Structure 1
């Protein structure tokens, strides 16, 4: 059964059409986050290592271009309809809190938020929409979005490639390993962030406090 699945997948990933599909899915994921672009990039990275097709560099380049396109579409949506979209969010809901958090981070750290948010589930869409809605300069947005898209594509394809090298004879195991590593890294990031948020909530004046003996 596994061999049949592998052969079916190989029949798809060895055709040039896979790059078009990758571009489209990576672009859609920029403003329609239920599309699993990271899963696809990891999977293609696995088969690039295990079988040589598709080409790893092309997976990275096409994935990054698709992600950059989707980010700009999301930015444009935020620029045109951001205030109306935010007004429809449920007060106090998870989505509203996410957008509010991104807005605060944009004020504090600027475009660096776009790079960090690219690795947070659902964060990339919130970041790009909010960036557009707040009137963040398009030229600065593009500069940070390029860095975010390229590093994300290298990271995702790299995880897949490592999984593929570990299980060259069983690519499906490589896909599972790549996805597990991505999930583990995301979980670690979210855990660290949750701990930091709890500490700040418990001691909100800690950042402003002056150490004893310092005038």
Structure 2
């Protein structure tokens, strides 16, 4: 596994100036909003590690990743606007996807800015948020503004994680990748723990209100 990863990093490092690599980053960042299994964050972090302490290239990576993420989110939003009930039913065939969609839909009107900006850090929520806001005809201009903030924040976070790994191990990108992935997993774990704590508190508050005498 490590030999394969080392070979991959060598190939990518030798092609950092090739246009196809930047098109690949843009495409994967965009596809993650339509195909939730697309490894957008992993791709951006990996390229950032290989770039290392090179401000010009890191800035270019940030712009390409943010642009791709924004394009993909807008695509999922427009698909939601035009999909109709048929596609939405197909999207909700599995129980997991149905729960995601309902969770996003019921909170769209009240928490749309938060969902659009922060939802991208939760697995599958980028697609669900775009489809839900689109199907509910949320104003596209407002969606675009909030999503631009979210895309820029996500791109900056991913590039920064990769930069930390690459700057610490400039002569050994494999170790830089492992450090960056470890940091990313740690941050994701903290976000998930915080989300569960908040959900339990909301549930406890709801039970208290329900149990109060009328």
**What's the TM-score once normalised by structure 2's chain length?**
0.87
Unmatched segments (≥5 aa) in structure 1: 211-215
For these two proteins, the number of residue pairs brought into alignment is 208
Cα deviation per residue 1:142-195 (whole Å; 9 max; x = unaligned)? 001110111110100110001111111211111122122112211211122112
Higher helix share: 2
CA RMSD of aligned residues (A): 2.3
Distance 1:22 1:125 in 2: 18
Distance change >3 Å, CA 191–CA 90, structure 1 → 2: same
Deviates more, 1:7-16 or 1:19-28: 7-16
Partner of 2:13: 10
Unmatched segments (≥5 aa) in structure 2: none
Q: How does 1:28-177 map to 2 (within 5 A)?
A: 28-49=31-52, 52=54, 55-81=57-83, 83-88=85-90, 89-90=92-93, 93-177=95-179
Partner of 2:185: 183
**What's the TM-score once normalised by structure 1's chain length?**
0.87
The answer to whether the 8 A contact 1:33-1:122 is kept is yes
Q: Moved runs in structure 1, 4+ residues, more than 3 A?
A: 1-6, 205-210
Cα deviation per residue 1:109-131 (whole Å; 9 max; x = unaligned)? 22221001111121111111111
